[in-house]
Amino acid sequence: MKRISWNQYFMAQSQLLSSRSTCTRLAVGATIVRDKRMIAGGYNGSIAGGTHCTDEGCYIVDNHCVRTIHAEMNALLQCAKFGVATEGAEIYVTHFPCLQCCKALIQAGIKAVYYAQDYKNHPYALELFEQANVKTEKVSIDKDIFLSFAENV
């Protein structure tokens, strides 16, 4: 069996995290990595113990679900909760971060954003990442990784 690249490994982790999402509109997963070690993971959904969109539907205000916390924010908040530094870390996300998550990632000291799919890529988010010298790179998810894994189970 061929060894997968780091990018594919961490993106696969984010894809797996997205399967825990309780958002009915878009399942997103995020993995924060420092020195090739996962330090946090997150997926989009409601607050811990709260009502989920999968249970009662989305709570839409101005065309946005206000019940949902984004995967990137959940991963950053996990680091904050447990006292794990994010300065100089990287994040792997299944979808390009929204503008608010972009700003939070920059403020948290994330140095690189790897994403699998474009999703409403905001021009200002791209501009902010560039101003902050945050690398952004699209990393396609290799579906064969999941297929070969399933064959070996």
Q: Residues with catalytic annotation?
A: 72
Q: Which residues pair with 112 in a beta bridge?
A: 90, 135
Residue 77: name the closest of 116, 105, 106 by CA. Answer: 105
Residue 58 marked as a ligand binder: no
Residue 95 marked as a ligand binder: no
Token reading at 116: 């699998």
Instruction: Tell me the residue ranges of DSSP E strands in the chain.
Output: 29-34, 37-43, 60-61, 64-65, 90-95, 112-117, 135-138
Known binding site: residues?
70, 98, 101
Known binding site for Zn(2+): residues?
70, 98, 101
